Chains A and B, each alone.
Chain A
Amino acid sequence: MTVAPTLTGAPAPAPSPYRWAWYLPGVVAVGWGVYGLLRNVPEPLSYAVFVALGIVGHDLALAPIAAAAGWLLGRVAPAVLRAPLQVGLFGTAVLLVAATPYLSGQGLSADVPSALPFDYRTRVLVLLAILWVAMAAWTLVRFGRSRRGQSAAQE
């Protein structure tokens, strides 16, 4: 069987006959992009290394951490905490990934003080604080609901 099953293990459906309408412009666009890169980027090796680092950074660092966190959550966290922790951790991770270049301060220039004028550290912390306070509140609501559910079951 040379067609892989889909994500959930279900057998793959027959490929659509319309796929060529997507393949054709897709291949042309990719070809145009590769042509443009080869003609205009004089550092192809540096470019390739950068792309490779991105893939490795995700597939061998970010993604395994996310998978491990999810697994740990399932084993260690009580049910009432699981969803709020999932949301809180996802939001925190994404915000930190997006904000790291700002937090590093690497973009500041003495001669252009209007560039990157915000206090990024404080603003990120405030945003995270809002997120986790919301998650704590949500946990309390879930806790209250499960308590009511338990006492209703006991009646």
Chain B
Amino acid sequence: MVRQPAQVAAPRRPTVLHRALPEPPEKLRQGPLREQAWRSPLRSERTAALLGLGVAITFGICFVTGVFSHVAQNPPSWLTWPARPVGLYRVTQGLHVVTGFAAIPLLLAKLWTVYPKLFEWPPLRSLAHAAGRLGLLILVGAGLFQLVTGVLNVARWYTPMPFFFTVAHYWTAWIIIGAILIHVGSKLAVIRRGLARGQQQPAVDPAHGGLTRRGFLTTVAATSGVLALTTAGQTVPGLSRIAVLAQRDPGVGSQGLPVNKSAVSAGVEDSAMDPTYRLFLEGPRPSELSLAQLRSMSGTTVSLPITCVEGWSASATWTGIRVSDLLDLMGLPADASVMVESLQEGGLYRTSVLAPPHSRDPLTMLALQVNGEDLNLDHGYPLRLIAPNRPGVLQTKWVSRVRAL
């Protein structure tokens, strides 16, 4: 049998997703939509790829440290939250906020670089193209959302956010990280081409006097660095002198330490000062301890940082009673968890769960004194919880009850 010569494959009809959609009339192509409307030589595949890499790295760091913070505050039952290193949360949360600020110039520069694509022509080539553009809308929207809400939160400006910040910011983090992964996947070949050296780029005319592409990238990186440095002062001692975007000065506050929730706003001024105040211990061996008894039991001093979820932190020395000793008093076993409750009556953070290893850690304390003085009302008088590697919202103030779980 004579073999037929190999057939040239007939061109396949594109699938529904890739079939060309009708183009709008050419005369609508005005202003920014024109082909030669965007001519800056700073816009190249290479600058887009490098800025994209910067955005991906900063958002990636924020994602990991952010999920870490979320899990610290909402540990699942199967996870043991470590009590060491003592300052781990301080480092991760400080890094989260500083990196978030560093991401601002990177994202803005990346958006500037690809801005002409908003006006691409034809605007919708096919259904697949339209889906891609919708995906980009989600990418840009979620990215801007994270940075805007993050800065608003650190600046304590809550009114523009008609939703609960922690919840919206956390779930949007999954959206932005997923959108970045999808975006990178769709651009793999372009990124590779953009990052490869010695390929065609629009020429930069030196007589023009504007920034070169290297100058552009250096400017963006330097701006990122400056924002990071001028934010880090809220958690890195010594940098507060040059802080511009910091929410706190770690050394500024009553008793040498910043305050977040005041006694007034927690509504505990009367109950905390009540002479009949008791610490209730509810367990196999229940008891009540008066302030005088607590003072006589107090004597251990530890040095621990207080770290807020807004990324600032400050170290202090705390004097009080080891929680482990109290758990022994209550007749609890080594692996017991307890609920620590505040005199504060409302609010999300009036209670916290203290589980192993924190519950038995020698550094975990119910403190009566900070930096050598009795706790003042704003710092949790008469008693506050302080433990290593623990977010500030879980370091319960105005403690009134420890209950076995």
Interface set of A (CB-CB < 8 Å, partner B): 1-4, 6-10, 12-16, 18-23, 25-34, 36-37, 40-41, 43, 46-47, 50-52, 54-55, 57-59, 62-63, 66-67, 70, 73-74, 77-83, 86-87, 90-91, 93-95, 97-99, 101-102, 104, 106-109, 111-112, 114-118, 120, 123-124, 127, 142
Contacts and interface: CB of A to CB of B under 8 A. Distances in A.
Contact of A30 (B137, B174, B209): B174
Contacts, number: 272
A118 B260 CA distance: 16
Contacts of B80: none
A70 B111 CA distance: 15
A33 B112 CA distance: 27
Given A8-B45, A59-B118, A2 B20 contact: yes
B157 A117 contact: no
A90 B116 contact: no
A119 to B, nearest CB: 10
A82 B208 contact: yes
**Chief secondary structure at chain B's binding surface:** helix
B73 to A, nearest CB: 14
A86 to B, nearest CB: 5
Point out which of A1, A99, A101 has the most chain B C-beta atoms below 10 A from its C-beta: A101
A115 B200 CA distance: 52
Contact of B45 (A6, A37, A66, A78): A6
B82 interface: no
B157 A2 contact: no
18 contacts: A8-B44, A10-B200, A15-B188, A23-B185, A25-B181, A32-B174, A32-B178, A33-B178, A34-B175, A54-B148, A58-B111, A62-B108, A98-B245, A106-B156, A112-B378, A115-B248, A118-B244, A123-B230
Given A32-B178, A82-B209, 19 more contacts: A22-B185, A33-B174, A41-B171, A50-B160, A63-B118, A79-B207, A79-B208, A86-B211, A90-B219, A94-B227, A95-B227, A97-B108, A99-B245, A102-B155, A104-B155, A106-B156, A107-B155, A109-B156, A112-B260
B174 A106 contact: no
A26 B223 contact: no
A66 B42 CA distance: 13
B185 A7 contact: no
Interface stretch (B123-131, B283-291, B340-348): B123-131
Interface stretch (B88-96, B251-259, B349-357): B251-259
A101 B264 contact: no
Nearest to B178: A29
**Chief secondary structure at chain A's binding surface:** helix
